[in-house]
Structure 1
Amino acid sequence: MAIQDVTVTIDVQNPAPKVGLGRPLILAESTAAESTYKEYYGLDTLKADFAETTSVYKKAAAVFAQTNRPDLVAVATYSETGGEDPEKGLTIVEALEKYFDKSWHFCLLPDAIASERLAVSNALQAHKFKFLVLKIEDKAELAQYALNSRTILYYHPGKAGEELDAAIVGDAASLTVGSITWKFRKNLSGITPIDISADELKSIHAAGANAYVLKAGVPQTSEGLTANGSYIDFLHGQDWVKANMESGLQQMLADNDKVPSNSVGIDMGVAVLQNILTQATTNGIVDKNTDGTGVFTVSSKSMDEIPDSDKAKRIYSGLSFEYYPEGAFHELKVSGTVVNS
């Protein structure tokens, strides 16, 4: 785990940056005895390690082919068995865990079999942070991910060589978090829409998957769902808030010679959270009141309310916040009247 002094936990309740949170990790199988991790800023450097015929190169090429591509693609390797040396060779889940704190946010699996895909999906679900993105060709496989909000599924059968999972990450993931919905992502480079009936598409959505289809003559993603039916942009926004609060509060502690354990220090922490939630409002993560202000609150406890056990360890556990996420229209229903003169 990353070394840090700040932990932000977000408890989701359901009442009646261009760079960083969009970077992909390609987790690829290797016959090498030792697992590796490396970041590539383009295909030329990646090609030195992974030939154009490899599954890694094809995934990376699909990412970099998109207009909104991220600044880099990370590649980590694993062995099906963990390799000859258990200290160096890693299984797919072990590799995910080892490199979890690196600067990627969306995981792609070019070589994994169904059982490995599910194992990674479950591992990411336990973290409640970051995403697994999968291209699925067998409709029967969709059901095994039904409980996992951190897995994004794209049903794309009969399209050999088309890396829809990588293309959508390259197109959407690195745009300002909160500024888009993952439905209607159109004209992906190198991707063609599938031929599917409206009823079959509804069944795909009900299974927690998305597709790339033709609507009004425009190829586009059919929905923006994770496998359990949550919306991708909602969870991506939640990740942005968590990451920025942790880094913002950590920076506050590092930039000041002392953050006093009194109302002055508490107010400093409150100011950090308010600034981040205000930026989240501007980005479209937090909903807005009619006057344009964000629908959020930041709360703090006085030192008298902090447990003595925390005080003794110089831990302040009194900051909390709440916000309402900004949604997006995914469908429009219009009624009209024709007046016969």
Structure 2
Amino acid sequence: MLSISDVTVTIAVLKPTPILGGFGKPLILGSSTAGKDFKNYADIAAVQVDYAANTEEYKAAFALFAQKNPPAEVAIVSRKTGTTPITLADMLPTLFLKAWHFLVTTTTTVDDLILIADAVEADKSRQFFARTSSKADAATIKVKNYDRTEVFYHTTVANYPESAWVGAVGSLPVGSVTWKGWTLVGITPLDIDATELAAIHALGANTYVTKAGTNVTSDGRAVSGEFIDFIHSQDYIVYSVQYAVQDLFNQAQAALSKIPYDNRGIAQIESAVRTVLQRAYLNGMIAADNDGVPLYNTTFPPRSEVDPANIAARTYPDGQFDFVIAGAVHTAAIRGTIKFA
């Protein structure tokens, strides 16, 4: 989330060499002749006050709220297309100033989807769920190799399968679930074989199929092949560490105090970071070792090891943390043996 803060958090994603504030809140981006401002809605009845049941914004919201684990709140904005229209390129930067995490849109035009996806990728704090009934459009999007855009392929997109997916999973505790294998209310599975499913996945898309008699989302990946929950978890930890340390500074000021630039103050900052990492571990984002110990570390050098120029400038740039992502099991291979004695 974009915010004014004295804290900067960056994560370098170190992957093994081959032997990938509103964190559950969706935003629906629509369009209409007159347009409508950004507004939050707690249920589908509230949406219908502003958007009739035949509007695309309503249909997207209906799919979100119809799921078993619906979001507590949905935001909707309608871009003006009539007299003095607002272009998509002009509107997108203003949306990143609002509180939301998952973006869905009423448009399926591939040029619009790429424009939105480019903006989301550049912002590096949100995730975009697009839908398409065109394998050619999915292939066009695949070329961009987005980490933050998820494509839902289905022959029927009028009922917003990608919105249903966000509604089913997005509001659950970050890191506690993977996005593969979810049953969606109001969505019919595709009747396809394993070969066609593999072809859809090769396009960087997800879809909805029947496995072992249950209708489920086929995978849980972004266009690049990165897992959706990995990106969601990364965003959560960056924002949560930033928020926790900023809140530490704010609370000190409220108490007419300060964070002293000595080992006591540094320990307070480190403690705030470790609290976030422990919460992330309990949510399932961070793995544990064989003894059940969470696999995260923090390194916050004492004052004696800090550059005096940084002490004079009242900046502490040396804090670090790392963790091992827990991931999730998506497939399994099991061997069996038949014995006669």
User: TM above 0.5, one fold?
Assistant: yes
Shift of 1:26: 0.4
Deviation, 1:307, is 4.7
**1: CA distance, partners of 2:280 / 2:293:** 11
Q: By how many angstroms is 1:99 displaced?
A: 2.1
Residue 80 of structure 1 and its aligned partner are, at CA, apart by 5.1
Q: 1:153 to 1:260 in 2, by over 3 A?
A: same
Q: Which runs of 5+ in 1 are unaligned?
A: none
Q: Which deviations, in whole Å up to 9, do the C-alpha atoms of 1:127-184 show, x marking residues without a partner? A: 2221000111101112333311000111111x25321111000000111111111111
Matched residue, 1:248: 244
Distance 1:40 1:323, change over 3 A: same
Q: Is the 8 Å Cα contact of residues 108 and 131 (structure 2) preserved in structure 1?
A: no
What is the TM-score with the length of structure 2 in the denominator?
0.92
| Matches for 1:136-285 after TM superposition, within 5 Å | 136-146=132-142, 147-157=145-155, 159-186=156-183, 188-256=184-252, 257-285=257-285
Tell me the equivalent position of 1:13: 14
Please tell me the root mean square deviation across aligned C-alpha atoms, in Å.
1.8
- 8 Å CA contact retained: 2:266, 2:300: yes
Structure 2 CA distance for aligned equivalents of residues 318 and 331 of structure 1: 40
Percent identity, aligned pairs only, is 34
CA contact (8 A) 1:80 1:92 kept: no
| Contact 2:108–2:130 (8 Å) recurs in 1 | no
Task: Output the amino acid matched with 1:292.
Answer: G
**Contact 1:27–1:92 (CA under 8 A) maintained in structure 2:** no
* Contact kept? 2:288, 2:294, Cα under 8 Å: yes
Structure 2 residue 83 is the aligned partner of structure 1 residue 92: no
Deviation at 1:110, TM superposition (A): 0.6
In structure 1, what is the Cα distance between the partners aligned to 2:31 and 2:81? Answer: 7
Q: 2 CA distance for matches of 1:4 and 1:76?
A: 26
- Structure 1 residue 301, shift from structure 2 partner: 2.7
Task: Pick from 104, 108, 118 the counterpart of residue 104 of structure 2.
Answer: 108
Q: Distance in 2 between matches of 1:5 and 1:28?
A: 34
SS state of the match for residue 48, structure 1? helix
**1:203 positional shift:** 1.7
Partners of 1:145 and 1:151 within 8 A in 2: no
Shift in alpha-carbon separation, 1:269–1:192, aligned structure 2, 3 A:
same
Shift of 1:30: 2.6
Query: What's the counterpart of residue 61 of structure 1?
Result: 62
Q: Deviations over 1:191-228 (max 9, x none)?
A: 01011221111121122111100111110011111000
Q: Aligned partners of 1:224, 1:123: CA distance in 2, in Å? A: 22
Whether the 8 Å CA contact 1:193–1:219 is kept in 2: the answer is yes
Answer yes or no: is the 8 Å Cα contact 1:151–1:227 preserved in 2: yes
- Partner secondary structure for residue 167 of structure 2: helix
Q: What's the CA shift for 1:107?
A: 0.3
Q: Which deviates more, 305-314 or 217-226?
A: 305-314
C-alpha distance in structure 2 between counterparts of 1:294 and 1:277, whole Å: 9
Q: Kindly state the Cα deviation for residue 305 of structure 1 after the two structures are TM-superposed.
A: 4.6
SS of the residue 2:50 aligns to: coil
Q: Which residue of 1 aligns with 2:289?
A: 289
Task: Provide the secondary structure at the position in 2 that maps to 1:204.
Answer: helix
Corresponding residue SS for 1:58 = helix
- The alpha-carbon distance between structure 1 residues 167 and 319, as it changes in their structure 2 partners (threshold 3 A), is same
Aligned counterparts of 2:65 and 2:178: Cα–Cα separation in 1: 21
Q: Post-superposition shift, 1:27?
A: 0.8
SS at match of 2:259: coil
The answer to whether the 8 A contact 2:23-2:101 is kept is: yes
- The code of the aligned residue for 1:52 comes to A
Q: Judging changes above 3 Å, is the alpha-carbon distance between structure 1 residues 311 and 227 closer, same or farther for their aligned structure 2 residues? A: same
TM-superposition CA deviations, 1:240-296 (whole Å, max 9, x none): 111211111111010112011121111111101111111111110001112222111
Task: Find the aligned partners of 1:167 and 1:199 in 2 and give their Cα distance.
Answer: 25
AA partner of residue 152 (structure 1): E
Distance 1:301 1:30, change over 3 A: farther
In the alignment, which residue of structure 2 is the partner of 1:2? 3
- In 1, Cα distance between the equivalents of 2:157 and 2:298? 50
Letter in 2 for 1:330: H
Indicate conservation of the 8 Å contact 1:77/1:95, yes or no. no
Q: Which residue of 1 aligns with 2:43?
A: 42
Distance 1:43 1:243 in 2: 29
Give the Cα separation in 1 of the matches to 2:221 and 2:227. 5
Match of 1:25 in 2: 27
